[in-house]
Amino acid sequence: MPLTLFWQTLGRYARLVPIALSPRRGRLAGRSVRHYVVSVLLLALLPLYLAYHWLGLLLDEVFFRGYRRVRIVEPVFIVGVPRSGTSALHATLAEDGRFTTFRTWECLFAVSVTWRRFWWAAAALDRRLGRPGARLLAAAERRAFGAFDATHPMTLQSPEEDHFVFMPLLYCFILVAAFPDAPWLWRFGRLDEAVAPAERRRLLAFYRGCVQRHLYAHATDRRFLSKNPTFSPLVAALARSFPDARFLCCLREPREAVSSQLSVLHGPMTAIHGSYRVAAFQKRLAEQLAHYYEHLLAVLNRLPQQRAVFIPAPALRGQLRGTVIATYEALAMPLDTAFSTRLVELDARARAGQSAHRHALADSTLDEAWLRNRLAHVHQRFDFNSKQPAPAGHAPERLRSSA
């Protein structure tokens, strides 16, 4: 592992301490007792978490250097705005046996080959002992993830967003809920534009190494599948780093997507900080989501045909099977017979399912007129009510020229 990344991570941690504990005015995080207690606890635990991951990455360079020779062939990236159906699409494509994707436990606890092999061995021993550890882990899992059932159901074994692999670098956007005043976390939300080229290359090289580790650990030549709405602001860098990659971009009507994301983050922000500058935080987050829309439409429509497709949210809600088949065709990805049959069952399940998450833009502090005006040009360039995937190469001429 490059020493530069390690020293940068230490530097970010050193900066987090005053950012989290400073009582200065004007910051996004509150100054309640809850905020300081939670911040101190997180700052105490982070060095242990970082040491755990960096030890695994270091041991990989000693015992599993073969991961560097792994070829990544035609990976598939599911991107888009948050709350637009990316999780449902990810879970569906993960059923295609020709794909391999990160599971939650791998993202959080086994970025390295070393820790994957260790935990696999521990699980094998646990099975021989009657699975006492598995039962204890299942109880802990229900307690840890139960609060997310309405907004983002997850288990340790479910397919998950692999942006968590950036946690060992303290460059994972999810950390913005705990440290909303860390400037580099917001820069990640504009990585293609706001991050220096050298740093961007290091970050993408690190991510590429994590994907190689995943393929090496699973000893597979299957196609890599990734789902990350937070990768939307770096699709240009991804397209350069993975020149044969395919992009599936999920888009939802902005008012609905922004409302949902603000609602999802309000709970964690309140739980961590007690109080926070709600209006300022929500405005900054909405501005970032607006950039997602603009950046995705601009970058993906510059890619060659058969490399990107836009999927409106209604296309996933009402006709999952047809949408997936059309998406595979648009990207020249052959449809496996077994997966095609499986799609019938998944489609029926999707039609019967209904999100328990209830939200409204009126519940936020965001001005609806501002959001409408801010994204008026995006509405003119994309039909959010369409029920059909739209290959990027078939975008309207005005969209391609404005990109």
Identify whether 279 is part of a domain. Answer: yes
Listed in sequence order, the DSSP H helices in 33-131 are: 33-63, 86-93, 104-109, 113-128
Q: What is the mean pLDDT of residues 354-381?
A: 81
Identify whether 381 is part of a domain. Answer: yes
Q: What is the mean pLDDT of residues 187-207?
A: 94
**pLDDT tens digit string along 289-309?**
999 999 999 999 999 888 999
pLDDT band at 143 (very low <50, low <70, confident <90, very high): confident
pLDDT at 354: 63
Identify whether 307 is part of a domain. Answer: yes
Nearest Cα neighbor of 57 from 2, 121, 120 is 2
pLDDT at 232: 95
Measure the CA–CA gap between 213 and 65, rounded to whole angstroms. Answer: 9
Measure the CA–CA gap between 42 and 75, rounded to whole angstroms. Answer: 34
Measure the CA–CA gap between 75 and 225, rounded to whole angstroms. Answer: 6
Residue 295 · residue 52 · CB < 8 Å: no
Give the CATH number for residue 204. 3.40.50.300
pLDDT at 365: 84
First to last CA, the chain: 37
Amino acid making up residue 19? I
The DSSP output letter for 224 is: E
Q: What is the mean pLDDT of residues 335-358?
A: 80
Residue with tokens 């290959």: 391
pLDDT at 142: 78
pLDDT at 30: 85
pLDDT at 359: 67
Number of domains in the chain: 1
CA dist list (Å): 365 to 261, 281, 284, 288, 370: 13, 10, 12, 16, 11
Q: What is the mean pLDDT of residues 366-378?
A: 90
Q: How many other C-beta atoms are found inside a 10 Å radius of the C-beta of residue 27?
A: 16
Average pLDDT, the chain: 90
Residue 356 has pLDDT above 80, yes or no: no
Residue 118 has pLDDT above 80, yes or no: yes
Share of the chain above pLDDT 90, in %: 70
Residue 358 has pLDDT above 80, yes or no: no
pLDDT band at 147 (very low <50, low <70, confident <90, very high): low
Phi/psi of residue 151, nearest 5 degrees: -115, -35
Q: What is the mean pLDDT of residues 28-40?
A: 92
pLDDT at 398: 36
Phi/psi of residue 47, nearest 5 degrees: -60, -35
CA dist list (Å): 97 to 140, 190, 215, 220, 221: 29, 34, 14, 11, 11
Q: Vertex 212, ends 210 and 216: CA angle to 5°?
A: 115
Q: Name 365's Cβ contacts closer than 8 Å, sequence gap at least 6.
A: 278, 279, 282, 283
Residue 150 has pLDDT above 80, yes or no: no
Q: How many other C-beta atoms are found inside a 10 Å radius of the C-beta of residue 153?
A: 14
pLDDT band at 78 (very low <50, low <70, confident <90, very high): very high
Residue 310 · residue 252 · CB < 8 Å: no
* Torsion region of 336: left, alpha or beta (phi above 0 gives left; psi -120 to 50 gives alpha): beta
Measure the CA–CA gap between 387 and 383, rounded to whole angstroms. Answer: 9
Q: What is the mean pLDDT of residues 320-336?
A: 93
The DSSP output letter for 306 is: T
Identify whether 10 is part of a domain. Answer: yes
Measure the CA–CA gap between 172 and 281, rounded to whole angstroms. Answer: 18
**pLDDT tens digit string along 219-265?**
888 999 999 999 999 999 999 999 999 999 999 999 999 998 998 89
Measure the CA–CA gap between 144 and 329, rounded to whole angstroms. Answer: 39
Instruction: Output the DSSP codes for 231-257.
Output: GGGGHHHHHHHSTT-EEEEEE--HHHH
Identify whether 123 is part of a domain. Answer: no
> Is 354 or 106 the better-scoring residue by pLDDT?
106
**pLDDT tens digit string along 266-288?**
888 999 999 899 999 999 999 99
Identify whether 141 is part of a domain. Answer: no
pLDDT at 353: 62
Dihedral angle, C-alpha 230, 233, 236, 239, nearest 10 °:
10
Listed in sequence order, the DSSP H helices in 129-253 are: 132-145, 183-188, 191-194, 197-217, 235-241
Residue 174 has pLDDT above 60, yes or no: yes
pLDDT at 364: 83
The DSSP output letter for 161 is: -
Nearest Cα neighbor of 162 from 153, 148, 173, 176 is 173
pLDDT band at 83 (very low <50, low <70, confident <90, very high): confident
Identify whether 145 is part of a domain. Answer: no
Q: What is the mean pLDDT of residues 368-380?
A: 90
Identify whether 30 is part of a domain. Answer: yes
> What's the burial of 199, exposed, middle or buried (CB within 10 Å: 0-12/13-18/19+)?
middle
pTM of the model: 0.92
Residue 377 has pLDDT above 80, yes or no: yes
284 forms beta bridges with none
Share of the chain above pLDDT 70, in %: 92
> Is 287 or 31 the better-scoring residue by pLDDT?
287
Q: What is the mean pLDDT of residues 201-205?
A: 95
> Which range of residues forms the domain containing residue 49?
3-117+155-402
